[in-house]
Structure 1
C-alpha cells in the first residue's frame, strides 16, 4: 500500500514537472513568434483597408488571406512564395468563378472545381504552393456567400495582389525583423551543442573516461538536425536585409555570418572525427598528455567566443586567439608523445581550429600560415598576427578544404 502511494506521488510529481516545463516551452514559443503575430495582424488589417478603399470591395476576403500567406511563407522564400501564392489564387479564382457561374454550387461542383484547379495548376508548371493555393481558393469561391457575377475575376486577383504587397510592406518597412538576430537564434543550438560536447570530451580525456566521450559523440550527431533551420534562417536574414532599409546597416555583420556557415559546418564534422578518435585513444589506453585535454577545452571556448562575436556583429579577435592557443596546446601534446589515435586527435584540433579561423574571416593561405606557426610553438605570435587581420567577411571560394586539407573529415 505504501509502495503504491509512493509510486502515485512520484508520478504526480513527474507530471507537475513536465507540465511546468511544457508551459515554459509554450510561453517561450509565444514570445519568439510574437512579432510574427503582430506582423500578420497589421498586414491583414492593411490589406483589408487597401482593398476596401481602392477597389470598393465590401468583402475583401482574398486581400487579408494573401497578406497572411505572405508572412506565413518560409523565411527567405517570401518573394517567391508570394508570387506563387498570387498565381495560385488567380487560377483558383478564374476556374472557380467560371464554373460556379456556369454550373452553380453544390458538392459535385465543388469536387469538380478542386479537381480542375489542381490539374490546371500542375499543367501550367505550378509547384506544391501554387497547387495548394489554387485548390483552396477554388473552395472559397465555391462555398463562401459571394456574388457570383461575370467579369469579377480580375478585381479579385488585384485583391490578392494588394494582400501580398501589404505583407511585404509590413516585412520591409513597418515591422522588419533584425536579420542578425534571426540567424543568431538559429545558429545558437548548433554552436552551443558543439561547444558543450567539446568541453565534455576534454573532461573525458582528462579523466580517461571513454564512455563519457562516446556519449558526447552521440549527442554531437544531433547538431546536424539544426543545420536545416540554420540554412533557412540565413536565407531569411538575407531577404530581410535586402527588403528592409532600416536593416541595411546589418548587411556587413550578416554577410560574415552567411560566409561563416560553411566553415561552421566543417568544424562540426571535424569535431566529430576528433571525438571519435579520442574515444579510440582512451579505449586503447594510449598515452594522453595533459595538453591534449587543454587543447580541446580551448577549442570549445573558441566556438563560444565565435558564437558571441558573430551574434553581436563584432570583429572576432578573441575567437581567433583562442583557436590558435588550442592549436598551440595540441602541438605541445604531440611533442610530449601520443599514439596513433592521439595523433589524429591532434590533427583534428588543428583542422577544426583552422575551420574556426576561416569562420572569423581569415583567408585560406593566411589561416594555414597561422596554424603552422601556432603548432610550432609560436601561438602567441600567431594570435597577435591574427588580431591584425582585417575583419572582412571570409571568401566564398570553394577551392580546397578549410585548412588546406581536403574538406572535412567524415
Structure 2
C-alpha cells in the first residue's frame, strides 16, 4: 500500500498525485472557459454578418411585392418576394449566377409542364410524371442545384394548380424576374455589405483558432501527452471543416467589391485579403499534418529535441500576430519575425537529431511558415529565400 499515516493512524494518498490531479483539473477548466469565450465571440461575429442579410431579405421582400403588384397588377404576387429572398439567402458570393439559375429553372419548369399537361392531362399521377420529367430534363441540361430546384418547384405548382395554369405561367416567370432583379438591387445598390469588414470578421476567428491549435500541439509535444495531442488533432480537423464558411464569406466580399458601386473604393484592400486567403487555407492543412505527426511521434516514442516544441510555439505566435494584423491593421513585421524564428528552432531541432515523425514535423513547420509569410504579402520566391537563409544560418558551425 502507498501513502503515509498521519498522527491518528489514517492513511492518505500521495500528495503529489493529488496536486497533479488538481493542476490538470485547473487546466481543463481554463480550456473550457476559453473555448466558451471564443465560441461566444465567434457567434457574435457571425450574427453581425447575418443580421445584414436579414435586413436585406426583409427590404427585398417588401420591394419585390410592391414592384410586382405595380407592374403585373396581380393582387398577391407571392413569387416575387420569394424569388427576392431566395437571391438574398443564396450562397454568399454567387448571387448573380444564382439569379440566372432561378430564371432558367422557372423557364424550364414552365416549358416541360406545359408540354406534358397538353399530352397527358392533369391529376395525381400526372403531377408526379410532370415533376419527374422536369427534374430529368433539368439534370440533362445542367447539374446546378438552383436550376433543378426551381424547375421542379415550378412543375409542382403548374401540375397541382392546373385549373388556372394559363393564368399562372406568365406571372410565375415575371414574378421570378422582378424578384431576382430586386434582390440583386438591394444587395448591390441599396444595402451592400462592407466587404472588408466581412473578411476581417471571418478571417480573424479562423486565424485565432489556428494559433490556439498550434499552441496546444506544442504543449502536447513538449509533455509527450497523447490525450492532448489527440485533442489538438481534433481541433485542427474542426478548423478544416469550417473552411467552407471562410471561402463563402470571401467570395461574397469579392462579389460585392466588384459589382456594388458604393464598395468600389475598397477593391484594393479586398484584393489584398483575397490574395492571402489561399495561403491561410494551405496553412490549415499543413498544420493538420503537423498535429497528426506529433501524435505518431508520441506513440512511437521518438526523441523530442528541446527546440522542436519551441518551433511549433513560434509558428503559433506567427499566426496570432497575423490575426492581430487582420483585426487591428498592424504591419506584418511581428508575424514574419515569429515565423522565421520557427524555422530557426525547427532547424536546430533537426540538427539535434529527430526520428521520422520529427523530421516530418520540421518540414511541415517550414511549409506553414512559407504560407504565413505569403499571407503577409511576401511573394513565394522571397519567402522561400528567407526560409533557406535562416535554415542555412543555423546549420553553419559557430566560429
Contact 2:204/2:326, CA 8 A, preserved across alignment: no
**Which residue does 2:152 correspond to in 1?**
135
How far 1:322 sits from its partner (Å)?
A: 1.8
How far 1:105 sits from its partner (Å)?
A: 6.3
Contact 2:203/2:326, CA 8 A, preserved across alignment: no
Match for residue 247 of structure 2 among 218, 227, 231: 231
Helix, strand or coil: the match of 2:378?
coil
Structure 1 residues 134, 153: CA separation in 2 closer, same or farther (over 3 Å shift)? Answer: same
Structure 1 residues 41, 145: CA separation in 2 closer, same or farther (over 3 Å shift)? Answer: farther
Q: Which runs of 5+ in 2 are unaligned?
A: 1-35, 395-399
Q: Which runs of 5+ in 1 are unaligned?
A: 1-19, 379-410
Match for residue 86 of structure 2 among 41, 62, 69: 69
Match for residue 51 of structure 1 among 68, 88, 107: 68
How far 1:373 sits from its partner (Å)?
A: 3.0
**Which residue does 1:397 correspond to in 2?**
none
Contact 1:253/1:313, CA 8 A, preserved across alignment: no
How far 1:273 sits from its partner (Å)?
A: 3.6
Distance 1:281 1:338 in 2: 13
Match for residue 207 of structure 1 among 223, 229, 235: 223
Write out aligned runs for 1:307-322 (5 A): 307-311=323-327, 315-322=331-338
Runs of 4+ in structure 1 over 6 Å off: 97-105
Structure 1 residues 377, 211: CA separation in 2 closer, same or farther (over 3 Å shift)? Answer: farther
**Which residue does 1:78 correspond to in 2?**
95
Distance 2:362 2:144 in 1: 49
| Mean Cα deviation higher: 349-358 or 189-198 | 189-198
Match for residue 165 of structure 1 among 181, 200, 205: 181
Contact 1:66/1:86, CA 8 A, preserved across alignment: no
Helix, strand or coil: the match of 2:242?
helix
Distance 1:118 1:371 in 2: 54
Helix, strand or coil: the match of 1:33?
helix
How far 1:299 sits from its partner (Å)?
A: 0.8
Distance 2:174 2:182 in 1: 12
Distance 1:312 1:182 in 2: 14
Match for residue 106 of structure 2 among 89, 107, 110: 89
**Which residue does 1:406 correspond to in 2?**
none
**Which residue does 1:394 correspond to in 2?**
none
**Which residue does 1:3 correspond to in 2?**
none
Contact 1:100/1:148, CA 8 A, preserved across alignment: no
Match for residue 250 of structure 1 among 250, 266, 286: 266
Structure 1 residues 373, 97: CA separation in 2 closer, same or farther (over 3 Å shift)? Answer: same
Helix, strand or coil: the match of 2:240?
helix
Contact 1:295/1:349, CA 8 A, preserved across alignment: yes
Distance 2:177 2:332 in 1: 44
State TM-score, norm by structure 2: 0.75
Write out aligned runs for 1:372-387 (5 A): 372-377=388-393
Structure 1 residues 346, 48: CA separation in 2 closer, same or farther (over 3 Å shift)? Answer: same
**Which residue does 1:4 correspond to in 2?**
none
How far 1:199 sits from its partner (Å)?
A: 0.3
How far 1:200 sits from its partner (Å)?
A: 1.2
Query: Within the alignment, does 1:216 sit opposite 2:232 as a pair?
Result: yes
Structure 1 residues 137, 312: CA separation in 2 closer, same or farther (over 3 Å shift)? Answer: farther
Distance 1:313 1:240 in 2: 21
Structure 1 residues 145, 100: CA separation in 2 closer, same or farther (over 3 Å shift)? Answer: closer
Structure 1 residues 347, 46: CA separation in 2 closer, same or farther (over 3 Å shift)? Answer: same
Helix, strand or coil: the match of 2:309?
helix
Query: Within the alignment, does 1:272 sit opposite 2:288 as a pair?
Result: yes
State TM-score, norm by structure 1: 0.74
Distance 2:245 2:370 in 1: 25
How far 1:83 sits from its partner (Å)?
A: 0.8
CA RMSD, Structure 1 to Structure 2 (Å)? 3.5
